[in-house]
Amino acid sequence: MAGHYPNSPNGNEAQLGRLVANLFRENGWRVLHQPREQNSAPDLIASRPGKKLIIEIKHASEGRRDRVIPLLSQAALEAAYYSRNFAGNPIPVAIVGAKHISDAVSEEAKEFVRKRAPEIAIGLLDFEGLRSFAGHGLEDLSSKRRPENRQSLPKLHARAPQLFSDLNQWMLKVLLAPRIPESYLSAPRGRYQGASQLAEAARVSVMSAFRFVEQFSKEGFLDSRSDALRVVRSKELMNRWLAASQRRVVEIPLRWVLNKGKKALAKALRSYESAGSLHPRDAEKPEGYLSSPRPRLCLGLFEAAEALGIGFVHGVKPYLYLERLSADIMRDFGFSGNGGEEQADIYIRIPGNHETIFRGAVRNDGVPVSDILQIWLDVAQHPSRGREEANVIWRKILAPALESNP
């Protein structure tokens, strides 16, 4: 829904308005956007049994004290004015948001307004996770800022990330997971009312989840207005996802040092797993988590499809997804780089989209295996009858799961 906020000439203010609306919805409030007519309506009206809120929202270009406090005071005055024009004595709420507001400025601003207008509920938010509310029981909306490396946070004015970025693909898998058996996809399964709940389940930052919801809603692939986030237009979405995956991947042809049989790779992967270097709960590590000294890995493409019981194309050299290649891996697995592509026993893939691949991987008989969505995306572009394998996966598993009502 487009923003209509009086102080919203650009996307940052509208983004803040949507963030506030989603926060209240996720906490059980029914939120209405009022169409403005000559500045005669508040930014938002939120209600639940026995309580109604009149909400005014202001965006500060900077989180400094001399910017935040005047805007919060203005929002308080306007919220009080609008509340007098509504029946039932609604509670006026003044909210200010910015890219970053320090805890000190937040507390000082709340104290400033609280002393002068105690009847006004107050809220301060920023795009780095600050949620600080006071008055009329809204303290329940408050939450501590999640510890993050602030240098890694995206700039608000930076170019928008790709629709199918690494974390966006992972969050999409999380939303699709309830439709897909756990044996085919490792991901949390639940219903999420908004970005905050999705962020907690997917173990990503709230800002990453908020961008995901905003982007996919804007593209028409996500219904965020119902009681839970719901993927819609699934077939078109999958076609877009597939097209976005048609890019060159780094592949390294390797050979076994010793001549080993067909089961050698699975045996080596089980040994790697049992050594404890890849814990099954790695999928729950938060965004930005630094991986263990030994990299994550999983079977990919046709070998993965066969491991999941959906193999159709046989005789293709196995593919192994590896977070990074090291001398230790070469030694532990018995790989050699000698020989060209024609002599390869196995292909190592070093993916750019680490999180969606390794978080979604399932364990099959002790072997980490790419999830069914990833296999479908990967084999579809492979020259060795990949399209046929992809069609089998789509017909037998994905189409029945995704084209039916969730």
Q: In the predicted model, is pLDDT for residue 337 greater than 80?
A: no
For tokens 């965004």, the residue is 287
Angle between the N-to-C axes of helices 195-202 and 11-26, in degrees from 0 to 180, rounded to the nearest 10: 80
Say whether domain 166-244 belongs to CATH 1.10.10.10. Answer: yes
- Which of 54-58, 123-127, 252-256, 394-398 has the weakest average pLDDT? 252-256
Is 133 buried (19+), middle (13-18) or exposed (0-12) by CB count in 10 A? buried
Domain spans of the chain?
A: 11-145, 166-244, 250-402
Model confidence band, residue 283 (pLDDT cutoffs 50, 70, 90): very low
- Span 182-236, pLDDT tens digits: 999 999 999 999 999 999 999 999 999 999 999 999 999 998 777 789 999 999 9
User: What pLDDT does residue 29 have?
Assistant: 86
Which residues does 118 contact at the CB level (< 8 Å), separation at least 6? 135
User: What pLDDT does residue 221 have?
Assistant: 94
Per-residue H/E/C for the chain: CCCCCCCCCCHHHHHHHHHHHHHHHHCCCEEEECCCCCCCCCCEEEEECCEEEEEEEEECCCCCHHHHHHHHHHHHHHHHHHHCCCCCCCEEEEEEEECCCCHHHHHHHHHHHHHHCCCCEEEEEECCCCEEEECCCHHHHCECCCCCCHHHCCCCCCCCCCCCCHHHHHHHHHHHHHHCCCCCCCCCCCCCCCHHHHHHHHCCCHHHHHHHHHHHHHCCCEECCCCCCEECCHHHHHHHHHHHCCCCCEEEEEEECCCCCCCHHHHHHHHHHHCCCCCHHHHHCCCCCCCCCCCCEEEEHHHHHHHCCCCCCCCCCCEEEECCCCHHHHHHHCEECCCCHHHCCEEEEECCCHHHHHHHCEEECCEEECCHHHHHHHHCCCCCCHHHHHHHHHHHHHHHHHCCCC
Q: What's the CATH fold of domain 11-145?
A: Trna Endonuclease; Chain: A, domain 1 (3.40.1350)
- Give percent above pLDDT 90 in the chain: 43
Give the residue with greater pLDDT, 241 vs 128: 241
Mean pLDDT of 313-340: 83
Q: In the predicted model, is pLDDT for residue 121 greater than 80?
A: yes
Instruction: Select from 23, 130, 125, 136 the least CA-distant residue to 83.
Output: 136
Is 77 buried (19+), middle (13-18) or exposed (0-12) by CB count in 10 A? middle
Are domains 11-145 and 166-244 of this chain identical in fold?
A: no
User: What pLDDT does residue 259 have?
Assistant: 66
User: What pLDDT does residue 329 have?
Assistant: 83
- Span 233-262, pLDDT tens digits: 999 999 999 988 876 677 888 888 876 766
- Span 358-385, pLDDT tens digits: 999 999 999 999 999 999 999 998 888 8
Q: In the predicted model, is pLDDT for residue 35 greater than 50?
A: no
* Joined tokens for residue 180: 């897909």
Which of the residue ranges 4-8, 248-252, 327-331 has the most confident prediction, judged by mean pLDDT? 327-331
- Span 11-23, pLDDT tens digits: 677 788 888 888 8
- Contact in structure between 283 and 360 (CB atoms under 8 Å): yes
Q: In the predicted model, is pLDDT for residue 288 greater than 60?
A: no
List Cα–Cα distances, 151 to 195, 204, 209, 368, in angstroms.
Answer: 22, 16, 18, 33
d(CA 101, CA 145): 11
Q: In the predicted model, is pLDDT for residue 342 greater than 70?
A: no
d(CA 77, CA 105): 20
User: What pLDDT does residue 7 have?
Assistant: 40
Q: In the predicted model, is pLDDT for residue 269 greater than 60?
A: yes
User: What pLDDT does residue 309 have?
Assistant: 94
Model confidence band, residue 150 (pLDDT cutoffs 50, 70, 90): very low
d(CA 198, CA 294): 29
State the chain's mean pLDDT as an integer.
83
- Span 36-74, pLDDT tens digits: 444 567 888 998 888 899 999 999 989 998 889 988 988
Which residues does 383 contact at the CB level (< 8 Å), separation at least 6? none
- Cα dihedral 117, 122, 126, 131, rounded to 10, equals 140
- Contact in structure between 188 and 202 (CB atoms under 8 Å): yes
d(CA 110, CA 81): 19
Q: In the predicted model, is pLDDT for residue 277 greater than 50?
A: no
Instruction: Select from 274, 248, 251 the least CA-distant residue to 346.
Output: 251
d(CA 69, CA 116): 12
Model confidence band, residue 166 (pLDDT cutoffs 50, 70, 90): very high
What is the pTM for the complete model shown?
0.62
- Which of 40-49, 98-107, 165-174 has the weakest average pLDDT? 40-49
- Cα dihedral 243, 244, 250, 254, rounded to 10, equals -50
